Amino acid sequence: MKGSYLKIAEGYELIATGFRELAEVKEAHEKKAAPETIQEITETPAKAEPLKEEATKVTLEDVRAVLAVKTREGKTQKVKALLNEFGADKLSSVPEDKLADLIAKAEVL
């Protein structure tokens, strides 16, 4: 749960950064700044890239949510078979590096 809140906070930080950049661009435009100044302002900060990578990382909670939906749809046996396919009898036994593959297969059940 703590990780989810951190991801949300990081998302808000990205949004705030975007609004700051937008305000700077608008201010520069209003002052009729030189084109190279506007280009410098609108460049994406380098620190935003690692956050995007983390956002695409599949977590145990993400997989658990998808599997819960499939179970509620009456696909409990298929969910169990899918876990067995990954060599696990329960979700927490699935290695982290295989969670992305698991969620991809679970979504098409």
For the segment 80-91, the average pLDDT, to the nearest whole number, is: 90
For the segment 84-97, the average pLDDT, to the nearest whole number, is: 89
Domain ranges of the chain: 2-55, 60-107
77: confidence class by pLDDT, cuts 50, 70, 90: very high
pTM: 0.49
Q: Locate all alpha helices (DSSP H) within 1-109, ordered by sequence.
A: 2-30, 35-42, 48-56, 60-72, 76-85, 99-107
State yes or no: pLDDT of 79 exceeds 80.
yes
State yes or no: pLDDT of 31 exceeds 80.
no
Most confident region among 16-20, 48-52, 95-99 by mean pLDDT: 95-99
91: its two tokens: 């979700």
pLDDT at residue 5, as a whole number: 81
Average pLDDT, the chain: 78
pLDDT at residue 85, as a whole number: 92
Round to whole Å and give the CA distance between 16 and 10. Answer: 10
